[in-house]
Structure 1
Amino acid sequence: MKFNYKQKIFFSFCLLITLFAGSIIFFEKSEAKRYKTEALEERLNVYSSLIYRSLQKKDTFDIETINSIISSFPRNLRVTILSHIGDVLFDNTISKDDLKLENHSKRPEIIQAQKKGSGSDIRISTTTSEKYLYYAKQYQTLYIRVALPYNIETKEILKADNIFLYFIIILFLIAILLVYRLSNRLSQSIRQLRDFTVNQQSSTRAIKTNFPDDELGEVASQMVDNYKELKHSQSQIALEREKLLQHIHTSEEGICFFTASKKVEFYNGLFMHYLNIMLDKKSTNPAVILTDPLYSNLQEFIQAPENNGYYETKIERQGKQFNIRISIFDDNSFEIIINDITKREKTRLLKQEMTSNIAHELRTPITSIRGYLETIKSQNLSTEQNQYFIDKAYNQVINLSQLIDDMSMITKIEEVPQSFDFEKVSISEVIEEVYTDFKEALQQENIELYNSVPENCLLKGNRNLLYAVFRNLVENTIKYGGNKAHIYISCYNEDEYFYYFSYADEGKGISGDEHLNRLFERFYRISAGRTRKTGGTGLGLSIVKNAIQIHKGTIIAKNRIEGGLEFLFKIKK
């Protein structure tokens, strides 16, 4: 049977109080019995003294005198007179003729009397076969022994008073009651604490607690507060862990965690995807990265007894480039992260190429401007000649300014496309604005612009970017199309989501389809009239393509059967 905390306290205190009360009762009864026994012995001593005094008055041993004095004593009092060697001289319970008893010198009370002068004993008499309380006292030449039968009457005399017993019992019951209340109070905090922990496990609701205002209650309250704080911390940790796992699953990095013993703890699907791209044979075990020879450098780092806790390497496989990083934690567990850096590397190379191209493109106008200015400075030219070289230098400055503007725009389109605000834009109005700005240049080349885009062709876009699209297309025709390269702009189709446009000219077109796919690359030029001499920056069509892509569209270039070049593109409404 299992006892609870309250029962253990109650029974423990009850046992302690019972032992204490029993000890007191036992001690008190023993002392009371001893006290009453001494009082009775004192009474028997008086009897023996009276008998001895009566015998002293007579010079001889007179039985009649003894009987006369005994007659005044209690009737059941037994009187025995012994010689100094223990022979029985007189016994009032035995007739004179039958007075032939054994020597009493070995009786306990006689032995005590020999040593102390008096002695007592309770035992059954060998003479009368009755139980007596004996008292013997030694005198000069004899022993006088008096005895009372140890019957109910004598027992009652020696019996302790029950008043003290009743008092102890009452105190015992009061103590038990107090112990019960005390154990109930002490166990209240424990019981509530137990109920709190049990109910908290099976219930999501907050459990109310009302602990006593004492030290144990304070401890219990503190434990409950600590438990609530711990549960809150655990829920927060679980929530953050769930967030972390969701982040890992949706991350664009392949991530795998390993224990210190190199066991897989957690990984996402992208980690296995990247591994299988690099491996010759497909695998479903992330730990293959710790055994395959392809990752030997990584494995050597992990096995090294001393390392800085971080290692990074690159692997190129299947036309892709991967960056692999490993971080070792304080408990020797570690994580391995794989990134597909193919696009990033291409972007880096593209930027490197673009930087080189920009330097190359800037060098030409700057060199020309320098040459013109040096000519003006070093030679004595006429006013007309000076003006000629100044105009040449000015035109190169305009080209340089246009190049810088185009580079700024394409950089902004690629790196911060979100910076462009979108609004309702009329494509027909944008085309008319471009026509107005380039009307003079078009007339110089005898080019007509035919705009058949309806006025209700509205879409949500950035007006400046849409203007740049048509401006660069028109500029491209003016510079490379040649004389009378008439322009035709139309919206030839639309659906629920897109407008479909055609921009065509009657220019020279492009000889060779191999150039069409590269037409939108930065600084890409082809022969047959498309050189720097025409003044282009080499970025116009690249701006067109990127601006259309920002509007969720696409563009392609094709040669027309009738001659010239046609651009087909779509823009989201």
Structure 2
Amino acid sequence: MLQGFSAELKRLSIFVAICLLLGWLTGHLLLVLDIGVLAYLVYMLWQMSRLNRWLLRKNDEEPPEAAGIWGDVFDNIYHLQRHQRQEKENLQAVINRVQEITSALKDGVILLDWRGHLDFWNPAAQRLLGFHTKDQGLSVINFIRHPRFVSYFEEGNYSEPLELPSPRFSSKQLQFQITRFGKNERLILVRDITQIHNLEQMRQDFIANVSHELRTPLTVISGYLETLADNNNLGPTWQKPLQQMQQQTQRMALLINDLLVLSKLETTEVGHNQKLIPLDPLLHSIRNEAMALSGDKEQEITLSCDGNIQLLGNEKELHSAFSNLVVNAVKYTPAKGKIAMRLWKDKQNCYFAVSDNGPGIENKHIPRLTERFYRVDASRNSSTGGTGLGLAIVKHVLLRHDAELKITSEVGKGSVFTCVFPLH
């Protein structure tokens, strides 16, 4: 650009010198200078016209020949055009590659603009939700009208996926996961989880049916064992075997009852039989049950309630969750240990905590404590008579009340289990 500018200055200097010479020779200096300026302006307009005509052409032709600064302008614009065209081709190649990848996915991919309107979708999303080309630019809620999806979409909390029946195929179950990106744009991943859903339903039905079927023979066995234990004709040799059989029968009965409770929690609709529950009398009842269970261990079990707190929920489910936490504390806290039950609230949440000074739990076990049948120490469950389902029941009850369980523990010092209920 500097070389062209220098050349243009030289050309202009020579042109002015010629005009001055002609003006001096003819005796009309001003007139000749005016004509020279007008000629230079006409030259500039002509070059601008050439530039404009070249830019308006859509074909990829080289720029017109020009010298000086105009030559540099033509060349620089041409190089910028080529660079821009190359960048565009590279970007288009990336877009084509992304489209090829998304087309190969079995999961549906939907891109929404900042308004929540359809911008792009892959063939899997079209197959699962029935989109057409004319639907581009329409709101996604026009196609997925399920109230739970509308609430999920508008609330904006996408930390967990949402499972719903397919709006197109009643026999299919879909999972929706929304992710924000860019300027409030959203990406929706749609996954067909029909097979997983059916397997889960089969598992739930199997557990529920087996648990129900086992109760009758177990009741018969338990009845005969009680009859044999009350029979004075049996010698002392049979006392210990009968006692052990009765203990194992009771453990089996507890396991079946817990499985039935879990099955009911998984299959019953959320919000079933909910009402405002005064928690003070409920927790006093649980404390009395814990005192009876503690028996000869002489544990100190205290209860602290901040005011008359009420909670919207299912009383039977909440009793089961709170009772499981307190019963676990009684089982694992040594004799004459301390167990504290505390209920309080702030502006956002209501809290119920059970703390003890038992053996504590290593941090590596805490994330898995709510899994079914997970054992920190296999020997502990057999010695305490636990089923391994108590905390799983607590987790399911809290999920049904939009609550969460927080666990803190230190080996040798004890544990704290806290239920956090949002007040909304």
Normalising to structure 1: TM-score of the pair?
0.37
When you count helix as a share of all residues, which structure comes out higher?
A: 2
Q: Which has the higher contact order (CA 8 A, sep 6+)?
A: 2
For the pair shown, the structure with the greater C-alpha radius of gyration is 1
Normalising to structure 2: TM-score of the pair?
0.48
